Amino acid sequence: MSDPETPNSQNPQAQPVTETTESFGDILSQFQKSHVRRAEGGKQLEGTVIAVTAEAVFFDIGYKSEGILPLTALQGETLKPGDKALVTVKGRDLDGYYELSRFKVERPMDWSALEKAFADKAAILGTVTAVVKGGFSVDVGVRAFMPASRSGVREAGEMENLVGQEVRCRIIKLDVADEDVVVDRRVVAEEEERAAREKIYGQIKEGDTVTGTVRSLMEYGAFVDLGGIDALLHVGEISWGRVNKPADVLSVGQQIEVKVLKLANEGDKRRISVSMKQLQPHPWDAGAQNYKLGDRVRGTVSKLMDFGAFVELEPGIEGLIHISEMSWSKGKVRKPSDVVKPGETVEAVILGINAGEHRISLGLKQALGDPWADVPQRFPLGSEAEGPVTSLTKFGAFVQLSEGVEGMIHVSEISAEKRIGMPAEVLRVGQFVKVLVIGVDPEKRQMKLSMKQLVPTGLDEYLAEHKEGDVVTGRLVDQSGTRVELGEGIHAACRAGTAAPAKSDAPVPATADLSSLSSMLQARWKTGAGAPVKAEPARAGQVRSFRIVKLDRATKKMEVELA
């Protein structure tokens, strides 16, 4: 006998009844879910966030089931559990959750609702049902057409992905008689995007610290998405150190923290400038104390300008080498690239510091040492040197004797053979010449040179053959008795009082008996023999014996007195 508790044995009809009941329940559930879309659509209420996932936000909206809102609908807005927000119930999904929107959007139920939405230019909900020629078929309560150009889809491959999706759109054409409805999704999306941007613009203030995503990289900077709006991060605001191009330190999709520097309205456009480096301590705050006047420092040439070169001493701290501080040689450096190149490591001396303006002045030539420091030892008076003519002026020529050391040949010291009007008559730039050092002033960085004094003369021979104390023969040249001619072109100063002029009723011409004087001097001035013994008052033209009391071969000057 069969068990009476077994349904199959006692009631063969039980199983079909059970299957019928379950099928009816499934059908009823599906019916409720599909019809609740239309019943709930358009309701707007305040919801409380209860959970946030990687894809959606769940709200408590006061119903038995929670509401669900895709994260993409937030357009950059951040919500956390406990936050409240106005949401619109669009309908219910197959899992039983209420589908939510941040916009109050209704799904039309009949032609009168469509006419009202058209008149109000209100956004409505529709479902893309198929791709058709020129666009899409959309269910908005009736069949509507959406042109591809107004769908917001840019590529043909994305058109199929839109089928089955619920979209917000606006009726742009409505003909009840012909049942012709045309909708536009793009205009609604653009308005929503503008509204989202305006909301973000209203929330951001200068000085705020915000998080963004690098959207694109350019040579001059990076565009950062701040949640629906773009901000420009200039290359100079990425780091306190010099950045050659943004791609060296940033990548597309990277999340970064930035500081809002400026909000600007330019016509219809709003521009936001942001900075990464402003969130980091300025290197000068701690680094300035590491640098002092006169310090020797090393750095990398970061940038060349017409007026000099910038050298990075450490990230965020740069110094400037002015073009005038690159070489001791005048006129040698016409542009900074003649001396340094970008990326080159150089050693320099700190010439000036302005911590308030974040400026350091550097000298490249000072690191090489002052070439004038030992000029008196390297080029003493009377020494000979050689070098190229670097420049010509009306009054003389400049000659480079060593790196950073130049001397000047006055026009009167160029030639002993003829009078020179302009140095350019006998010299040219770049010509190598031999010179005699006749004057040095290290403090003024000046040196006097001579070319003509290297050419031997009767005076040179005379100076070479005589010394102080020698007695020589000479002729008084003037009535005062202060100037003596010792030979042709050879003169000496006579000390005052040693050759007082004689009183005479008739002056003796200075040219008297020149022929006899010349023959006598040729025989006597080298030995001093035959000088007059009889003392008599000195007078111009008188031949007398003199003693050399001072002889300077460097300056080629002599002093004598009556012997």
Is 476 in the same domain as 520? yes
Q: Give the C-alpha separation, 127 to 156, whole Å.
A: 19
pLDDT at site 274: 92
Is residue 223 a part of any domain in this protein?
A: yes
Examine the domain organization and report whether 150 and 72 are in the same domain. no
Q: Of 536, 540, 537, which is closest to residue 478 (Cα–Cα)?
A: 540
Domain presence at residue 218: yes
Q: What is the pTM of this model?
A: 0.45
| Residues of the domain holding 291 | 283-346
Is the Cβ–Cβ distance between 256 and 210 less than 8 Å? no
Same domain, 464 and 555: yes
Flag whether 422 is in a domain.
Answer: yes
Look at residue 8 and tell me if it is in a domain: no
* Same domain assignment for residues 229 and 254: yes
Assess if residue 234 is contained within a domain: yes
CATH number at residue 303: 2.40.50.140
CB of 67 closer than 8 Å to CB of 95: no
CA distance 356 to 365: 26
Return the SS3 of 66: coil
197 domain-assigned:
no
Q: List helix spans (H) across 393-435.
A: none
Residues 474 and 545 in one domain: yes
Question: Is residue 448, in this structure, part of any structural domain at all?
Answer: yes
- Same domain assignment for residues 462 and 556: yes
Q: Cβ neighbours of residue 175 under 8 Å, at least 6 residues apart?
A: 181
| pLDDT at residue 498, as a whole number | 59
The answer on 141 and 187 residing in a single domain is yes
Both structure tokens of 46: 């305040």
Question: Is 2 a member of any domain?
Answer: no
**Residues 216 and 231 grouped into a single domain:** yes
In a shared domain, residues 492 and 442: no
Kind and range of the H or E run holding 14:
helix 14-40
- In this structure, the answer to whether residues 135 and 119 fall within a common structural domain is yes
Boundary-marking domain end, from 165, 191, 217: 191
| pLDDT for position 535 | 55
> What is the pLDDT, as a whole number, of residue 540?
78
Q: Which of 101, 120, 152 is the last residue of a domain?
A: 101
Structurally, how many domains does the chain consist of?
Answer: 6
Q: Kindly give the pairing relationship between strand 43-52 and strand 56-60.
A: antiparallel
Residues 25 and 120 in one domain: no
Identify whether the C-beta of residue 68 lies closer than 8 Å to the C-beta of residue 96: no
Domain end: 244, 279, 314, which one?
279
Q: Are residues 217 and 159 in the same domain?
A: no
What's the pLDDT score for residue 8?
43
Per-residue pLDDT 10s for the chain (563 aa) are 434 333 444 444 444 434 434 454 454 444 444 444 444 445 668 899 999 988 889 999 888 889 898 887 776 678 889 998 888 777 777 778 888 877 656 566 678 888 888 998 888 888 888 989 989 999 888 899 999 888 888 777 778 888 888 888 899 999 888 888 999 999 888 887 787 777 778 778 888 888 889 999 998 999 998 877 888 999 989 988 888 889 888 999 899 999 999 888 765 677 889 999 888 888 887 766 788 888 899 989 988 998 999 998 888 888 899 988 888 776 667 888 888 898 899 999 999 988 778 889 999 888 887 888 888 888 998 889 999 998 899 999 999 888 888 899 999 888 877 788 889 988 999 899 999 999 999 888 889 999 988 877 777 778 888 899 999 998 888 777 788 888 877 888 888 665 555 444 444 444 444 444 455 555 454 444 444 445 566 777 888 888 999 998 877 889 999 88
